[in-house]
């Protein structure tokens, strides 16, 4: 067998294995399998998307779960796909068209534009899928879905029609959130409020009936004054009560408007008077409805002033118009003052421009099954991890409002509604016979015009958990086992999928537990940069995962990221952490390489208690630690604490196995005693085999490579069962043996410390003397000696050290460092310090034992431990003092 290189080369190994897995169809789910099902649907990335660290985190977690389940004997479906992302994709293509051809979508027309999007999609779309393959994702690519697949699109249409027929979807003229940049309505969830600096303008409205008397009103939006249709104050506000029923002169587009009283006005705010602008503010709209006020719209869809009556403002962009309106009022002496003011403004999540509240005719969904959706999470039919998201979810559902689902966007699922030609969509008539809603066009299409709009992208995504599956697949794999997603789409997607599952009942039975879309939801962290900022293109703080894969390997990236991914908290990304992942891969590679260099063990270690009797004490220790690691990992997985799983594996491999076991086992490995040698090698094989299997979900390529190079199993590691705990408990003296190992390791550390304190170089071979009456320790001398890098370690129960000999009190006895010309003064100083330190600690522990309350109330084991500690410290003190005073 050729010797392996000292560095693991992911560039050669990772693509090789991924290709083999694909060729072997290892990730293809079989709905006819008799194995229990485990399924995940991938949150579909946008077709325009590029892989981000967020995707890496999210998909690594899904891959870990899928691969682990596969090893555990589940039939696994990990269903991948993409989202057409209506507004997002349309905006991207529009930008591209503007850049390349200087054309807008309107220049091209609907049909041509959609053709261009498809063209663009073929060229630039779906890159992210190839990127996920580089990461090692074990998705069933044969089932890759797209939210615009024919069958999927038909399902979206059908759902729309069904909900319409149930009366849950309706068309209405309402106040909605208008995005003037994208020129479409958006849902409440797509509005992000941000603090914004501006001015509070105090405007004077003259009272019609009392010329010379002014009503002062505070507003942030003077550009909408032309749309004011009333002035309002709180009915209990004495300052203005005499004005009720009178009128004010609207200062721009001068007109008489009534003064009214409404409960909604906060007398504390500003002057306690509100200018009521029903067309441009949600609250004002409601007031307008109550008082039957006219609605005057003075803004265009693009957010420009549309008011020929005030030529100075007409055609101005809304924020320019704001300044100009203030100037006009100022010039007319109607602006009392303008105070700097900061308030929260709703911004479009998509375009990042301020949302314009606007009255518009749109399609709405009255959410069904909200009570049931609350209940399934409250009663833990669906569990959230971390659980605190349950509260966020509940709050949203309890305050839910109808969902505006229509978008003035061309790219997406077209609304399956038609209007009689004489009753075009702009018509206010809503009589049902004038609207046709159906999955097929109306029988006499020439008389109808289809609604121009498409539905919100999320109105298609909410079916993702089951519409991606054919009936047979659904029967086997729905409900899915777990959904892995970022918490920022808990409302957009998670909650709506739950509602969809409960309402549309896609399962084989109508039972609630069969129709929920998933049993668990794991909310991942959000990856931020080292300064805690969100990753964003404009900040340029988002590293390219592909570059990280090139640099550190996919497995290094995966492991590094998982080790720092806490649950329920954001991740601060630091490339050094990925470097650690790569280093860990190298460490594992090298310890496997070392094993390979030692040749065959001939006989594998049988997993029977009898076999354990002949093991070295160090083997028992590492196997016991392996058992503990398996337990720890198991419970960490139960809570989706992937960082803990990774950390336990890291510690076990690096510390327990490499630093301690392998170093200690070298005595046997390099010895002439064939039985001992074979035993040590067999233990290494067992531990490596188990470790690789435990690590496989995190580092699939590397573990597969080592598994195959070392010939640890018959087939590929991805189909190997996870390691069982060893039946060590059946071995009578495990505890004694482990205590001995721990004493030996403590002695080694004490000896190394002596060397360092005496300023002896690491490579200098030196002599140690261990003074002890324990004769059984003599068989461990070679290993102790090796670990201490000693020239010689002698056991001498009666050793008398010259004064000033460096000494450490260890669990095995006093360990002396024999050096010819030790600096006696400095050694004495060191001992003094050591004695003082131990005496201090002994005093502290003793004081505690003096405390009756402690002795009476604390658990016996704890008290006992303290007693032992005192005895131990006292013994150490005595011995150290002897050593210092040279009387030993």
Partner RNA sequence: GCGCGGUUAGCUCAGUGGUAGAGCACUACCUUGACACGGUAGGGGUCAGAGGUUCGAAACCUCUACCGCGCACCA
Confirm if 486 and 58 have CB atoms less than 8 A apart.
yes
Choose one: 123-131, 561-569, 604-612, 707-715; the region binding RNA (CB under 7 A). 561-569
* Identity of the residue, 273 or 686, whose beta carbon is nearer to RNA in the bound complex: 273
149 lies in the site for RNA, by CB under 7 A: no
Closest distance of CB 26 from RNA, Å = 28
388 lies in the site for RNA, by CB under 7 A: yes
DSSP at 534:
B
CA distances from 615 to 679, 725, 774, 792 (A): 7, 17, 21, 26
* Choice from 345, 375, 535, 839 touching RNA (CB under 7 A): 345
* Identity of the residue, 340 or 761, whose beta carbon is nearer to RNA in the bound complex: 761
854 lies in the site for RNA, by CB under 7 A: yes
* Choice from 749, 794, 826, 874 touching RNA (CB under 7 A): 749
> What are the structure tokens assigned to 84, written together?
């057409």
Q: How far apart are CA 311 and CA 514, in angstroms?
A: 63
Residues numbered 832-851 forming contacts with RNA, rule: CB under 7 A: 841, 848, 851
Closest distance of CB 754 from RNA, Å = 9
367 lies in the site for RNA, by CB under 7 A: no
Residues numbered 476-515 forming contacts with RNA, rule: CB under 7 A: 488, 491
Q: Provide the 10 A C-beta neighbour count for residue 887.
A: 10
* Site mask for RNA (CB under 7 A), range 858-877, x = bound: xx--x--x---x--------
> What are the structure tokens assigned to 524, written together?
């991942």
246 lies in the site for RNA, by CB under 7 A: no
* Identity of the residue, 72 or 289, whose beta carbon is nearer to RNA in the bound complex: 289
DSSP at 145:
E
CA–chain centroid gap for 483, Å, is: 12
Residues numbered 196-215 forming contacts with RNA, rule: CB under 7 A: 200
312 lies in the site for RNA, by CB under 7 A: no
Residues numbered 21-80 forming contacts with RNA, rule: CB under 7 A: none
Closest distance of CB 887 from RNA, Å = 26
> What are the structure tokens assigned to 195, written together?
């603090």
Cis omega (within 30 of 0) for bond into 479: yes
Closest distance of CB 304 from RNA, Å = 20
* Identity of the residue, 480 or 691, whose beta carbon is nearer to RNA in the bound complex: 691
* Choice from 432, 762, 773, 850 touching RNA (CB under 7 A): 762
Residues numbered 575-604 forming contacts with RNA, rule: CB under 7 A: 576-577, 580, 582-583, 585-587, 590-591, 593-594, 597
Confirm if 243 and 207 have CB atoms less than 8 A apart.
yes
> What are the structure tokens assigned to 270, written together?
């500003």
Closest distance of CB 801 from RNA, Å = 21
Instruction: Give the residue ranges of DSSP H helices in 758-851.
Output: 781-788, 824-850
* Choice from 24, 343, 607, 791 touching RNA (CB under 7 A): 343
Choose one: 342-350, 476-484, 694-702, 822-830; the region binding RNA (CB under 7 A). 342-350
Q: How far apart are CA 395 and CA 374, in angstroms?
A: 9
> What are the structure tokens assigned to 880, written together?
């150290």
* Choice from 566, 609, 722, 886 touching RNA (CB under 7 A): 566
Instruction: Give the residue ranges of DSSP H helices in 598-673.
Output: 609-612, 617-638, 642-651, 663-669
What would the DSSP string read from start to end of 29-64?
--TT-SSPEEEEEPPPPBTT----HHHHHHHHHHHH
Residues numbered 622-681 forming contacts with RNA, rule: CB under 7 A: 643-644, 647, 651, 654-655, 658-659, 662-663, 666, 670
SS3 assignment, position 608: coil
Q: How far apart are CA 536 and CA 527, in angstroms?
A: 11
831 lies in the site for RNA, by CB under 7 A: no
340 lies in the site for RNA, by CB under 7 A: no
Residues numbered 260-289 forming contacts with RNA, rule: CB under 7 A: 265-266, 269-270, 272-275, 281-283
* Identity of the residue, 50 or 200, whose beta carbon is nearer to RNA in the bound complex: 200
Residues numbered 394-433 forming contacts with RNA, rule: CB under 7 A: 395-396, 399
SS3 assignment, position 175: strand
* Identity of the residue, 173 or 388, whose beta carbon is nearer to RNA in the bound complex: 388
Helices 545-563 and 642-651, axial angle in degrees (round to 10): 80
HSE (side-chain half, CA atoms, 13 Å) at 594: 17
Q: How far apart are CA 579 and CA 410, in angstroms?
A: 45
562 lies in the site for RNA, by CB under 7 A: no
SS3 assignment, position 448: strand
Q: How far apart are CA 205 and CA 335, in angstroms?
A: 9
* Identity of the residue, 5 or 109, whose beta carbon is nearer to RNA in the bound complex: 5
Closest distance of CB 101 from RNA, Å = 36
330 lies in the site for RNA, by CB under 7 A: no
SS3 assignment, position 216: strand
544 lies in the site for RNA, by CB under 7 A: no
DSSP at 317:
B
Closest distance of CB 463 from RNA, Å = 23
Instruction: Give the residue ranges of DSSP H helices in 308-456.
Output: 318-331, 370-378, 389-398
188 lies in the site for RNA, by CB under 7 A: yes
Closest distance of CB 154 from RNA, Å = 32
* Choice from 212, 340, 532, 715 touching RNA (CB under 7 A): 532
Give the DSSP H or E segment for 518: strand 518-524
709 lies in the site for RNA, by CB under 7 A: no
Confirm if 243 and 205 have CB atoms less than 8 A apart.
no
* Identity of the residue, 439 or 874, whose beta carbon is nearer to RNA in the bound complex: 874
Q: Which of 324, 280, 325 is nearest to 303 (CA)?
A: 280
Size of the site for RNA (CB under 7 A): 92
828 lies in the site for RNA, by CB under 7 A: no
* Identity of the residue, 104 or 569, whose beta carbon is nearer to RNA in the bound complex: 569
> What are the structure tokens assigned to 157, written together?
């249409």
Residues numbered 219-238 forming contacts with RNA, rule: CB under 7 A: 219-221
Confirm if 31 and 475 have CB atoms less than 8 A apart.
yes
């Amino acid at each position: 067998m050729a010797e392996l290189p000292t560095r693991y080369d992911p560039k050669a190994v990772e693509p090789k294995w991924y290709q083999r897995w694909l060729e072997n169809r290892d990730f293809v789910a079989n709905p006819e399998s008799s194995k229990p099902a485990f399924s995940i649907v991938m949150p579909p990335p946008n077709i325009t998307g590029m892989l981000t660290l967020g995707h890496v985190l999210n998909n690594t977690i899904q891959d870990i779960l899928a691969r682990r389940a596969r090893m555990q004997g589940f039939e696994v479906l990990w269903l991948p796909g993409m989202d057409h992302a209506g507004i997002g994709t349309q905006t991207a293509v529009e930008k591209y068209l503007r850049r390349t051809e200087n054309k807008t979508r309107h220049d091209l027309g609907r049909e041509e534009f959609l053709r261009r999007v498809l063209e663009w999609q073929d060229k630039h779309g779906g890159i992210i899928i190839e990127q996920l393959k580089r990461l090692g994702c074990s998705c069933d690519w044969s089932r890759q879905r797209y939210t615009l697949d024919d069958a999927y699109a038909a399902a979206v249409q059908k759902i729309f029609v069904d909900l319409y027929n149930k009366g849950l979807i309706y068309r209405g003229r309402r106040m909605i959130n208008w995005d003037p940049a994208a020129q479409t309505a958006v849902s409440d969830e797509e509005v992000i409020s941000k603090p914004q600096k501006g001015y509070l303008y105090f405007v004077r409205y003259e009272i019609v009936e009392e010329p010379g008397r002014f009503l002062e009103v505070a507003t942030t939006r003077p550009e909408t004054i032309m749309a004011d249709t009333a002035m309002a104050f709180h009915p209990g506000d004495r300052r203005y009560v005499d004005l009720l029923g009178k009128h004010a002169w609207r200062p721009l587009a001068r007109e008489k408007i009534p003064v009214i009283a409404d409960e909604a006005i906060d007398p504390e705010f500003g002057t306690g008077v509100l200018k009521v602008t029903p067309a441009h503010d949600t609250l004002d709209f409601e007031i307008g409805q109550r008082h039957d006020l006219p609605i005057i719209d003075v803004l265009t869809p693009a957010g420009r002033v549309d008011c020929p009556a005030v030529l100075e403002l007409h055609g101005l962009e809304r924020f320019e118009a704001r300044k100009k309106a203030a100037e006009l009022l100022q010039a007319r002496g109607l602006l009392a003052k303008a105070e700097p003011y900061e308030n929260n403004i709703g911004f479009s999540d998509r375009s990042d421009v301020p949302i314009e509240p606007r009255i518009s005719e749109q399609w709405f969904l009255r959410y069904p099954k909200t009570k049931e959706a609350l209940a399934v999470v409250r009663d833990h039919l669906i569990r959230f991890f971390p659980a605190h998201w349950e509260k966020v979810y509940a709050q949203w559902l309890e305050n839910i409002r109808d969902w505006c689902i229509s978008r003035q966007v061309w790219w997406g699922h077209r609304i399956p509604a038609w209007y009689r030609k004489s009753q075009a969509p702009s018509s206010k008539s809503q009589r049902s016979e004038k609207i046709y809603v159906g999955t097929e066009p109306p029988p006499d299409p020439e008389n109808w015009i289809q609604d121009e709009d498409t539905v919100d992208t999320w109105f298609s995504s909410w079916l993702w958990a089951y519409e991606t599956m054919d009936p047979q697949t659904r029967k086997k794999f729905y409900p899915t086992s777990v959904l892995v997603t970022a918490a920022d789409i808990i409302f957009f997607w998670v909650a709506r999928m739950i509602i969809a599952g409960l309402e549309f009942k896609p399962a084989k039975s109508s039972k609630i537990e069969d129709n929920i879309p998933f049993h668990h939801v794991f909310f991942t962290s959000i990856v931020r940069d080292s300064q805690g900022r969100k990753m964003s293109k404009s900040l340029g703080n988002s590293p390219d995962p592909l570059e990280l894969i090139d640099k550190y390997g996919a497995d290094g990236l995966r492991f590094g990221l998982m080790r720092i991914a806490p649950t329920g908290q954001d991740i601060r990304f630091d490339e050094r952490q990925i470097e650690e992942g790569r280093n860990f891969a190298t460490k594992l590679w090298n310890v496997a390489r070392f094993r390979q260099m030692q040749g065959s063990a001939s006989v594998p270690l049988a997993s029977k208690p009898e076999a354990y009797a002949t093991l070295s004490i160090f083997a028992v220790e590492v196997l016991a630690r392996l058992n503990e690691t398996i337990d720890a990992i198991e419970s960490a997985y139960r809570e989706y604490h992937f960082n803990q799983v990774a950390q336990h594996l890291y510690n076990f491999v690096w510390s327990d196995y490499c630093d301690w076991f392998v170093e200690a086992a070298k005595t046997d490995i390099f010895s002439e005693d064939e039985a001992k040698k074979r035993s040590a090698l067999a233990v290494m094989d067992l531990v490596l085999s188990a470790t690789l299997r435990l690590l496989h979900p995190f580092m699939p390529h590397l573990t597969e490579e080592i598994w195959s190079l070392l010939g640890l199993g018959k087939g590929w590691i991805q189909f190997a069962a996870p390691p069982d705990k060893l039946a060590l408990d059946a071995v009578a003296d495990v505890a004694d043996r482990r205590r001995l190992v721990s004493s030996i390791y403590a002695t080694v550390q004490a000896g190394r410390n002596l060397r360092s304190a005496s300023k002896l170089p690491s490579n200098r071979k030196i002599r140690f003397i261990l003074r002890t009456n324990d004769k059984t320790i003599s068989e461990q001398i070679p290993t102790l000696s090796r670990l201490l890098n000693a020239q010689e370690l002698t056991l001498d129960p009666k050793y008398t050290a010259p004064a000033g000999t460096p000494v450490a009190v260890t669990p095995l006895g006093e360990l002396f460092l024999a050096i010819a010309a030790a600096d006696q003064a400095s050694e004495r100083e060191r001992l003094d310090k050591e004695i003082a330190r131990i005496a201090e600690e002994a005093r502290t522990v003793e004081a505690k034992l003096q405390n009756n309350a402690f002795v009476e109330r604390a658990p016996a084991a704890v008290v006992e431990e303290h007693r032992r500690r005192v005895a131990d410290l006292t013994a150490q003190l005595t011995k150290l003092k002897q050593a210092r005073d040279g009387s030993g």
